[in-house]
Amino acid sequence: MELTEQTQFMESRLEVLECHFTWDLDPSRSNSLRLRDRLMDIGTDEGNMWLGHIYNLQGYIHHQLGLDSEALQFFTRAAETFHQIRTSGSDEGPWLVVNYGNLAWLYHHLGDQAQSESCLSKVDALQTKHPSPCQDQLHPEVGAEKAWSLMKFNKTRKLLAVDLFEKAIQMQPDRVEWCTSQVLALVSAHKHSRTALDDEILDKMKMAKEQDPENLCLAVRYLSQRVNKEDNVKEEARELAAKILVNPVGSYNGMKAILRLYTKILSVDEAMDLAEDALLQHPENRYLMRCAALCYKWKIVFNRDSTINQSTIDRAVSLLKEVIRLYPDSCLVKEIDLANVYAKSNHSLPEAEEIYKNLLQRVLEPADRQMLYYQYANYLHYDREHHNKSLRYHMKAAEIPHESCYRTNSIRVLENIRSRGRSRMCGEIGKFLENLHESSPSASAGLQ
């Protein structure tokens, strides 16, 4: 067989594997950097049943970023982790199918065809020894890992994850972590919805919580949904917060979720105090620093009742600057937060202007540019009272063909301005929206 034919044959075998390289993930560079940081913040405590999957996804992300040496280290660590946490009598099981598939692809990219072939043979052997219980469906171990990975992406992928988890659970109903993750994916997919979750989803949450009582992240999210049903959960929230404070630090421990819940049912001040308590215990932890910075941002940017004292602003600035330093590759949102905090200070408007000026000149991917335009539009409207210029930036955000809450909100602002009929730009906005809806029907759907 000639070299070209060998390459084509190898690639045809690789393309039918079930692994991160074939799941059509292809995150943008900015999303890859953000996801890399989010995965690092999850934590590596021994009780995390998803640790092998975390390392597998980290390996793929590092490959996407051109860091193949680091990718190989993560894939190797994933295999070691699966060997450690699985209690099966065999060292090798279907949970390694994705890992070996990833390694086969990586070695192929590295030009080591012998190693790639070896990994392909291991995949074949595992699939022969451990066929899926249901013909024409992914093995539940593979389906669950694919679902867990898809949870980290957009709403469409999250809903696909819910379906994949459902199929895996039907074949292996005793896997508690799959049931929990399915519910979390379902809730996350509806995160930006303006309506409360329906009773069927709430029942699923309640059942998952009863099966997985130690999962504090799920417990907090369940409380949050009960608040939407007007339940009084203040004391339960405080009890949960106390448990979170003594658990290992990580983004899976429910800290950010409990802080959001505090702002809804208690106060932003109590959320800030809780975040500071956590930081006092772990002063060098960057994830907790990020959580604390978020609380101060909420206090300052969304405050409508009273003047914010300068010491609060100074603390927010200090935290945000440190977070930006600790997340150098995924700090766009925090840079915008810093600009918005500066804008609320009596003497720091020039700093806000300078940050936005620099960000607007930066080369950004469409989704990030859309978010920036939306945030800048709000800054112009609320902090500078440049209303017409603000509307133009909402138009800039809306015309970027990327579906997001920022686009939906910008379109909603423009629709409201047009319907009121009080702005000199109403005619221009009307024509803009008409052209936008003709070229992008989904823009209209965002207003339903």
421: left (phi over 0), alpha (psi -120 to 50) or beta: left
Q: Give residue 5's pLDDT band: very low, low, confident or very high (50, 70, 90).
A: confident
Q: Domain total for the chain?
A: 3
Do residues 7 and 90 both lie within one domain?
Answer: yes
pLDDT at 445: 47
195: in domain? no
pLDDT at 87: 59
Neighbour-count burial for 5-41, b at 16+ CB within 10 Å, e otherwise:
eeeeebeebbeebbbbbbbebebeeebbbbbbbebbb
Do residues 19 and 121 both lie within one domain?
Answer: yes
Is pTM beyond 0.85? Reply is yes
249: left (phi over 0), alpha (psi -120 to 50) or beta: beta
316: in domain? yes
Boundary (domain end) residue, out of 85, 111, 130: 130
pLDDT at 376: 98
Do residues 289 and 276 lie in contact, with contact meaning Cβ atoms separated by under 8 Å?
A: no
Give residue-wise pLDDT tens across range 242-251: 999 998 888 8
Q: Distance (Å, rounded) from C-alpha 385 to C-alpha 281?
A: 42
Q: Distance (Å, rounded) from C-alpha 253 to C-alpha 261?
A: 14
Q: Distance (Å, rounded) from C-alpha 448 to C-alpha 446?
A: 6
Do residues 349 and 374 both lie within one domain?
Answer: no
Do residues 182 and 147 lie in contact, with contact meaning Cβ atoms separated by under 8 Å?
A: yes
CA atoms within 13 A on the CB side of 300: 27
Do residues 440 and 329 both lie within one domain?
Answer: no
Residue count of the chain, please give it.
448
Q: Please, is 61 exposed, middle or buried when counting C-beta atoms within 10 Å of its C-beta (0-12, 13-18, 19+)?
A: buried
Q: Distance (Å, rounded) from C-alpha 283 to C-alpha 276?
A: 9
Do residues 353 and 301 both lie within one domain?
Answer: yes
Q: Give residue 338's pLDDT band: very low, low, confident or very high (50, 70, 90).
A: very high
Do residues 9 and 121 both lie within one domain?
Answer: yes
* Eight-state DSSP code of residue 153: S
Neighbours of 278 (CB within 10 A): 24
pLDDT, average across residues 122-134: 93
Do residues 27 and 125 both lie within one domain?
Answer: yes
246: in domain? no
Q: Give residue 268's pLDDT band: very low, low, confident or very high (50, 70, 90).
A: very high
245: in domain? no
425: in domain? yes
Q: Distance (Å, rounded) from C-alpha 38 to C-alpha 287?
A: 9
Give residue-wise pLDDT tens across range 180-217: 999 999 988 887 665 667 788 888 899 999 999 989 99
Do residues 125 and 97 both lie within one domain?
Answer: yes
Give residue-wise pLDDT tens across range 59-90: 999 999 999 999 999 999 999 999 888 755 55
322 has pLDDT over 60? yes
Q: Is the dihedral of CA 302, 331, 106, 175 positive or negative?
A: negative
- Residue 433, domain extent: 363-448
Boundary (domain end) residue, out of 337, 357, 377: 357
CA atoms within 13 A on the CB side of 295: 30
Do residues 409 and 303 both lie within one domain?
Answer: no
pLDDT at 428: 92
Give the residue with greater pLDDT, 48 vs 216.
Answer: 216
pLDDT, average across residues 271-292: 96
Q: Taking Cα atoms as reference points, which of 315, 227, 219, 249 lies closest to residue 40?
A: 249
Q: Taking Cα atoms as reference points, which of 406, 407, 390 lies closest to residue 398?
A: 407
Boundary (domain end) residue, out of 332, 357, 382: 357
Domain CATH code at residue 11? 1.25.40.10
Task: Tell me what percent of the chain is helix, strand and coil, each rounded to the nearest 5.
Answer: 75, 0, 25
Do residues 330 and 389 both lie within one domain?
Answer: no
Do residues 371 and 337 both lie within one domain?
Answer: no
293: in domain? yes
pLDDT, average across residues 284-298: 96
Q: Under 8 Å CB-to-CB from 358, ≥6 apart: which residues?
A: none
Do residues 340 and 352 lie in contact, with contact meaning Cβ atoms separated by under 8 Å?
A: yes
154: in domain? no
Do residues 41 and 121 both lie within one domain?
Answer: yes
pLDDT, average across residues 33-61: 89
175: in domain? no
Longest dimension (CA), the chain: 77
Question: Quick check: helix, strand or coil at residue 199?
Answer: helix
